[in-house]
Structure 1
Amino acid sequence: MRLLWKLVILLPLINTCSGDGHLSHPIFTQEPQDVIFPLDLSKSEIILNCAANGYPSPHYRWKQNGTDIDFTMSYHYRLDGGNLAISSPRTDQDIGTYQCLATNPLGTILSRKAKLQFAYIEDFETKTRSTVSVREGQGVVLLCGPPPHFGDLSYAWTFNDNPLYVQEDKRRFVSQETGNLYIAKVEPSDVGNYTCFITNKEAQRSVQGPPTPLVQRTDGVMGEYEPKIEVRFPETIQAAKDSSVKLECFALGK
């Protein structure tokens, strides 16, 4: 009888450790990635992905800013398989870093840290901008001055009531680093009102600033002056292998 009990106990172990039931520790097949979420879409849902192989099948937990998320205390967070779903995300509660943990009897693995940030751009202040006065032939910089934001921005300018954006040429340049409009040599046809337009693609929102008046001074034509670089290369540029990099350089002078 004693021998029979030993066989009964050993047979399940032999079956578990052979064939398709071979024990294996968890290995990630998908880890969470950084997310930049539009602030204006706060009524929707964010999904942070996580999946792992292993036998027995792993179960999952999540950490936010190093602290375990308690799924029993709130419907705000829920597990969908190994994925973390965040309903109606809020900046004051959800911004930060997230990590997924996958566990089975052979151990626990911890994923990379994934950042959750919210993309936004505020409206420009409505105060009137100062008039910029220049002589004919003089170079000028019109400042955009983007409002508080998070996320990558793209810039464009309009002139007077023309709905088309100012086109860049040998005299005019719009920096995608600062948003400023640079005119190398002002002509009489340049006189008018200029408006900066900003688009935050990640926030899915565009804003426009108040117009900046450009007027021509009547006390003569600008003489020659030495060139001055207005847009410089950054000291350091981080770029992925095989990606394209655009370096800006623009100078005023005559």
Structure 2
Amino acid sequence: MDLKNKIKSILKKQEECKRELTHNTHTCDRSKTTNWSLYIALFLTASIYVVRGQDVQIPPKMTSTFNNEYYYPRHTRLTDATINCKAKNGQIKYEWKKNGAVVRNSQYVTVDELTGNLKFTRMMNEDYGTYQCFATNDQGTSLSKPFKVKESRMSSFPTSGVQEVRCKQFEHCVVQCREKRKCTPDSQCRLEWKLGQGTKTNVEISKRVGVDGNGDLHFLWSDTNDWTGQQYRCGVLQEQMKMLVLGSVTELKIDSASTVPDPELEPILRFKENGKAMYGGKGVLRCMFSGFPSPGVEWISPDNLIIKNTPGKYEISDFGRVLTILQAEPNYEGNYFCKGKGKGKTESGPQRVFLNVTSAPILVGDNQMRDIMVHVGKDAMFHCNASSLPGESPPSLPKWKKNGVDLVIDGGKYIVSENSRVLTVTDVQTPSDTGAYQCMSENSEGVLLKEAILKVMVVCCRRKAKDIKDNNLSRDWDK
């Protein structure tokens, strides 16, 4: 039962008790009428703080989340290049800044101060940079973490001659993607191998044929059918730009073997690649083994357990050659092992690959950057114990802001302690100290920005004890 209904219930019981006493019944203790009045007084005193905090508007609180980077191509008409910024608490006005300067509406960039949308219709060179959203109401300003808007790029292969590669049937063969072009971002780039002229015929990827992390094409054992008389071409597709560039032309020739290998050719490691994952993100490990017949791949965890497809944790793909670690946590970091497994008893020795789980600074401990309500004249404390994951470079000391503006730490109004991890706002007053307070720290992997709201409370509107018995009190709560 909430406070308002509880008081109404007590008042109702008080009236019932008065009627019983009037009719000389003994089911009601006369002293309880006084106790009820006392209970109501106590409830009203407590309610001052609750109601007072609810009735008054509080500073904004950012609700949108943002990527660390956004990529858009230069000098291209954009149809889906809007970044949304949303905050809660009251009527809010939005503002965007690039490299610290306010973003103004222009021919190709628009800012909607009511919805918070930042929209690009065409990217010019001056539009790339570091952006940040500011959400403001009468009580303060909330801000997003800074993020970068970068250029999507795709360059062409240099002009070069045809290279001949000669391999032997049943043995491993590799065709290099020479002078592979720069393509960004990685998430929008895909390497494809084409056969012959044009772009319609893809080289089929199979258990026997694969592409490594460098883009090189591997025949884990070679077949005479791999020599078709057509040239192999390495291609890079930039999906966002819908652009495919081809290059690195190779003519492949396969020399026939006189006999089929007997026994089978044991697995030999041809490629392996370590992986890196952001905390909560994905990390990719790769291993590729040659052999005849094509060997399988077995993955082993740092705990020395055989890895299988596990929803939410492990995903094995590309015919066993790729292990993706999902929703990476710090304890997932470590040495993983892969083995090439032949059809018989043949297998390779274990090959080590390392997964590095990393992160921007994180907050460690209890009561970190929590919203607080403090009485006028008291001190308010915010905690920002920023830390890097084990093995990472330590983060910078926290920097403190109020409503997006750097605080002047002079040992008076604002005091920092514990290596800047604690901010004390002394002798808080309203409305000057009410607002959104921000703590920022960074390391080699990114930026931490956390904020908390300080609401300064004023005790007021205490009622005298005699007012508790006034019938008007009951009418007030009925409204």
Fold conserved between structures, TM > 0.5: yes
- 2:274 equivalent to 1:234: yes
Deviation at 1:116, TM superposition (A): 1.6
Q: Which residue of 1 aligns with 2:86?
A: 51
Q: Which residue of 2 aligns with 1:167?
A: 204
The higher relative CO (CA closer than 8 Å, separation ≥ 6) is in 1
CA RMSD of superposed structures (Å): 3.6
Alignment partner for residue 127 of structure 2, among 67, 79, 94?
A: 94
CA–CA distance in structure 1, aligned partners of residues 277 and 260 of structure 2:
37
Deviation at 1:43, TM superposition (A): 2.7
Identify unmatched segments of 5+ residues in structure 2.
1-50, 293-479
After superposition, the C-alpha distances for 1:139-173 in whole angstroms (9 at most, x for unaligned) are: 11111242111023222323346943222334211
CA–CA distance in structure 1, aligned partners of residues 144 and 167 of structure 2:
58
With over 3 angstroms needed to count, the CA separation of the structure-2 counterparts of 1:85 and 1:166, relative to structure 1, is: closer
Q: Percent identity?
A: 24
Deviation at 1:236, TM superposition (A): 3.3
**Mapping for residues 96-135 of structure 1, pairs under 5 Å:** 96-135=129-168
Deviation at 1:253, TM superposition (A): 4.7
Identify unmatched segments of 5+ residues in structure 1.
1-16
Query: Is contact 2:269-2:290 (8 Å) kept?
Result: yes
SS of the residue corresponding to residue 232 of structure 1 reads strand
Aligned length: 231
Q: Which residue of 1 aligns with 2:403?
A: none
The one-letter amino acid paired with 2:226 is: D
Q: Which residue of 1 aligns with 2:6?
A: none
Deviation at 1:137, TM superposition (A): 3.2
Residue range with higher mean Cα deviation, 146-155 or 25-34: 25-34
The one-letter amino acid paired with 2:58 is: S
Deviation at 1:178, TM superposition (A): 2.0
Q: Which residue of 2 aligns with 1:251?
A: 289
TM-score by length of structure 1 reads 0.73
CA–CA distance in structure 1, aligned partners of residues 260 and 128 of structure 2:
52
CA–CA distance in structure 2, aligned partners of residues 172 and 71 of structure 1:
53
- 2:97 equivalent to 1:63: yes
Query: Is contact 1:36-1:202 (8 Å) kept?
Result: no
With over 3 angstroms needed to count, the CA separation of the structure-2 counterparts of 1:70 and 1:117, relative to structure 1, is: closer
TM-score by length of structure 2 reads 0.42
Which of the two has greater strand per residue? 1
With over 3 angstroms needed to count, the CA separation of the structure-2 counterparts of 1:207 and 1:227, relative to structure 1, is: same
Deviation at 1:132, TM superposition (A): 1.1
Q: Which residue of 1 aligns with 2:222?
A: 186
CA–CA distance in structure 1, aligned partners of residues 192 and 166 of structure 2:
22
SS of the residue corresponding to residue 126 of structure 2 reads helix
With over 3 angstroms needed to count, the CA separation of the structure-2 counterparts of 1:184 and 1:75, relative to structure 1, is: closer
CA–CA distance in structure 2, aligned partners of residues 36 and 98 of structure 1:
10
Query: Is contact 2:82-2:117 (8 Å) kept?
Result: yes
Deviation at 1:41, TM superposition (A): 6.4
